[in-house]
Amino acid sequence: MTRPLLHATDLALRFAETSKDVAALEGGEVQVHRGHIVALLGRSGSGKTTWMNVAGLLVRPDSGRLTIDGTDVLSLDDTGRTVFRRDHIGVIFQSFNLLPQMSAAENVALASSRGMRSGRARAEELLDSVGMSRRAAHRPGELSAGEQQRVAIARALVNEPSLLLADEPTGNLDEETESEVLAQFRTAADNGCGVVLITHSSRVAEFADTVAVMRSGHVTMSTAQEVAEA
């Protein structure tokens, strides 16, 4: 198999909590390849979101190695990390993080590295691709959870990232909407993205090409039996 798009090994991170340190990440390995969807499966509190924040260059780990698209991203300074994240990584947060005063189209265009004005045409194209063209002028408060999720997906794709990270992307959705949203991630993978879905859902794990299991901060690429026990 070709070199992985993302290769994370031995990532470790500890947080200070009252009088003691708490381990949020404690090693393991994850590989993500272009065109593949990886489900990072684990129970609440197991460290999944922390791992995503590290992989998305939002948090720096205490130790470990992380390469994305051939770049040792942990060696970059803060500015370099910001630029790399903008150009290579799309992040979809569990709470969507859409700006409430802006329309769906404006939320997507604002994230464009080309600027708001130039990004508007790209935003309209992406909203159409996720079935939201008729709702482009609506603000987040006027959209359902599933519609907001689609806007968040479009925003994450606006700069054509090679890596897409999504935290509990179907957690608030009914089964039909979940299937529709997962189809959007499959399309992104088919277009060459590497996709990581952070989830506790066995349905999402079954949808993915590969599953990694997180337990108490330690993550491993997993067998079918390990997935069943997660």
Of the pLDDT bands very low, low, confident and very high (cuts 50, 70, 90), residue 19 is: low
On whether residue 199 sits in a domain, the answer given is yes
On whether residue 106 sits in a domain, the answer given is no
- Measured over the CA atoms of residue 129, residue 93, residue 41 and residue 174, the dihedral's sign is negative
On whether residue 16 sits in a domain, the answer given is yes
- pLDDT digits 0-9 by tens, 147-196: 998 999 999 999 999 999 999 988 878 888 888 889 989 999 999 999 99
HSE at residue 163, side-chain half, CA atoms within 13 A, is: 26
Cα distance between residue 34 and residue 54, in whole Å: 19
Cα distance between residue 59 and residue 50, in whole Å: 8
On whether residue 208 sits in a domain, the answer given is yes
What is the pTM for the complete model shown? 0.89
The percentage of the chain sitting over the pLDDT mark of 70, rounded to a whole number, equals 94
Contact (CB, 8 A) for 200 and 42: yes
Residue with tokens 């470990």: 64
Cα distance between residue 114 and residue 154, in whole Å: 15
On whether residue 152 sits in a domain, the answer given is no
CATH of the domain at 59: 3.40.50.300
- pLDDT digits 0-9 by tens, 87-111: 999 999 988 999 999 999 999 999 9
Contact (CB, 8 A) for 101 and 139: yes
φ, ψ of residue 88 in degrees (nearest 5):
-125, -20
DSSP H/E element including 32 = strand 29-32
Domain containing 32 equals 6-96+162-229
Contact (CB, 8 A) for 170 and 204: yes
On whether residue 117 sits in a domain, the answer given is no
> Looking at the predicted structure, is the pLDDT value of residue 222 above 80?
no
On whether residue 181 sits in a domain, the answer given is yes
Of the pLDDT bands very low, low, confident and very high (cuts 50, 70, 90), residue 44 is: confident
Which class for 130: exposed (0-12), middle (13-18), buried (19 or more C-beta within 10 A)? buried
DSSP H/E element including 211 = strand 210-215
On whether residue 107 sits in a domain, the answer given is no
What's the domain count of the chain? Answer: 1
- pLDDT digits 0-9 by tens, 128-142: 988 899 999 999 999
- Per-residue model confidence (pLDDT) at position 177: 84
Distance from the first to the final alpha carbon of the chain: 27
